[in-house]
Amino acid sequence: MTKIIGLTGGIGSGKTTIARLFEGEGIPVYIADDEAKKIMLNPITVEKVRKEFGDKIIQNNQIDRKALSEIVFNNPEQLKRLNSIVHPLVKKHFDDWVTQNSNHPFVVKEAAILFESGSYKYCDKVITVTASEETRIDRVVKRDNVKREEVLQRIKNQISEQERIERSDFVIYNESLDLAKEQFLQILKILKKKQ
């Protein structure tokens, strides 16, 4: 039975870097955000979202992500409505993906909102990637070319690092790639032993 390892972390924590390390070891990695974006392009999804939020969020038969994010970004109720459409579709896609990769002892699901979405419940183990708030802000400002205040707002909208850490089986402190790699290899060794 293929085990599912959840990989999560707040914005700028470097979870994608850790996901790439898993891929480098030949372990299949499912990037939930990327798959959700693809699912949002599906005409069936577009229609469901249009029915829920109206024509104002549709542009050229596609979801206008900017218009939609303006509706849901600071409105937990609207975000819940959107998630109730998207999460079941991502879950089904992920389940199919796990079946396709069932020849592997374990696979990794990388998701920013692993705890918030409830998908941690389907994971055998959870790894959180974290870094100091300053490091995370710095990374996102450089990566996304956004203002510090914007990053702080996004951090505020996520669950706290403390809660994420407390709910995880493993934690990778990602202040530098070398240290993160070391921790990754130790965790990998433990995961391989448990097969």
Q: What is the average pLDDT across 16-39?
A: 95
Is the residue at 23 inside a domain? Answer: yes
Is the residue at 76 inside a domain? Answer: yes
Is the residue at 38 inside a domain? Answer: no
| Domains: count for the chain | 2
- Tokens at 125, concatenated: 């183990």
Binding residues: 12-17
Domain that holds residue 82: 46-100
Confidence of residue 72 (pLDDT cuts 50, 70, 90): confident
Same domain assignment for residues 85 and 67:
yes
Distance between CA atoms of 158 and 165, rounded to whole angstroms? 13
Q: Which amino acid is at 31?
A: I
Distance between CA atoms of 111 and 8, rounded to whole angstroms? 5
Total-model pTM: 0.89
| β pairing state of 58-59 and 62-63 | antiparallel
pLDDT digits (tens, 9 = 90+) for 152-182: 888 887 899 999 999 999 999 999 999 999 9
Binding residues for ATP: 12-17
Same domain assignment for residues 88 and 136:
no
Q: Tokens 């934690």 label which residue? A: 171
Nearest residue to 3 via CA among 125, 118, 184, 95: 125
pLDDT digits (tens, 9 = 90+) for 117-161: 888 999 999 999 999 999 999 999 999 899 998 888 888 878 999
Q: What is the average pLDDT across 23-49?
A: 94
